[in-house]
Amino acid sequence: MIYLELPKSLRVLANQAHQIGKNVFRPISQKYDEAEHEYPKELDMLAALLDGLDAGGGRPDGGGVTALKQERGGDGVNNGANMATCVGLTELCWGDVGLALSIPRQGLGNAAIAAVANAEQKKRFEGVWAAMAITEPGAGSDSANIRTTARLDGDEWVLNGEKIYVTAGSRADAVVVWATLDRNLGRAAIKSFVVPHGTPGMEVVRLDRKLGIRASDTASITLSDCRIPKDNLLGTEDIDTKEGFGGVMQTFDNTRPTVAAMAVGVARAALDHTHELLAKEGIEVRYRGSIHSKNAVEAELVRMEAEWEAGRLLMLKASWMADNGIPNSMEASMSKAKAARVANDITLRCVELCGGEGYSQRRLLEKWARDSKILDIFEGTQQIQLLIIARRVLGKRSAELR
């Protein structure tokens, strides 16, 4: 039987993360939306608190790979780090997506380290705040088209290339860079490398101004004969043309459900606030009875609630599969595609339903509408997710269905 209620430990985590979203993020949300590229110094204190909680066995933020010790049920089912990450991020992003992306030591690169690194590397990079650099000027949604190169020279890798749209790229301690060992071997030769900030040859050349998530920095980085130790390559340097670049792509199987969780969180925030504003005008949603018996606003809210629940359940399924060692590439893409598109639709529709109040900066609704758009773009666009899903459903290779 399917049991859809969160276990007690995850309910505690969700509540703690919700309190952070409400009492830490919401009060400073507008401030750092307006002060783009200014570092949210309030997060340093939060990070110190989370480190202390981590030492005690669990993180309320849900942001890192050590988010929660695995909970094992009597039937051998795990509710582990992936589920905890998604549950926690949902509540943090109910507070603010950009600030959730800016918590020290909780970068997307940390998910790459968790997915690909060996035991020694996981221990060595523990506590490091890692951003992730994939996208290039000539390689956007198609990660297999990466042109940044990595050449082994003695005991060092030499990296050359350019990366754009690196979330937390200027603030993080290190950047996980995707590069190819041999362009002639295609995607099989793509590997990921940990490059600490301050390494000669790596330079942040630009910070982008953005529509949303302004509290989070988005950087462009160049690598010019950038040398890193040989053992900073995550995983193995062996090139297996049969495996493709499944090793580095495993990162997405972990991170796409977390993007879905962000979308679920910001969509929930918009729905909650819309209910509050409409209630002040005497409009209450009745969930009983046929949808055809409701007024237009009620019917619209009921439909949005149903879409939100579909996105949430897909996110939970994908993260649960990751925790239990079940291949989840298709489900990860499904959760990201559904939840992100739902978040876009819900936040914009909530702005419309609330009229001038929704459009005004007096309310956070307009900000959530701007913030939500990136969730349909990064970690693979909507179109790429649908293409991945189609390949899995039809049993086609990427060369057969493009």
Catalytically active residues are 379
User: Hey, CA dihedral for 208, 210, 213, 215, is it positive or negative?
Assistant: positive
Q: Which two tokens stand for residue 201?
A: 């040859």
- Please state, in angstroms and rounded to a whole number, the distance separating the CA atoms of residues 253 and 392: 14
List beta partners, residue 221.
163, 204
List beta partners, residue 58.
68
Q: Which is nearest to 166 in space by CA: 114, 122, 112?
A: 112
Give Cβ neighbours of residue 299 (< 8 Å, ≥ 6 apart). Answer: 291, 292
Q: Which two tokens stand for residue 14?
A: 């969700």
Tell me, what DSSP letter sits at residue 152? Answer: E
Q: Which two tokens stand for residue 298?
A: 């009620």
- Please state, in angstroms and rounded to a whole number, the distance separating the CA atoms of residues 23 and 16: 10
**Concatenated DSSP letters of 369-381:** HHHHHGGGTTTS-
Burial of 382 (0-12, 13-18, 19+ CB in 10 A): middle
**Strands annotated E in 168-248:** 174-180, 190-196, 202-207, 218-229
Q: Which two tokens stand for residue 103?
A: 């918590």
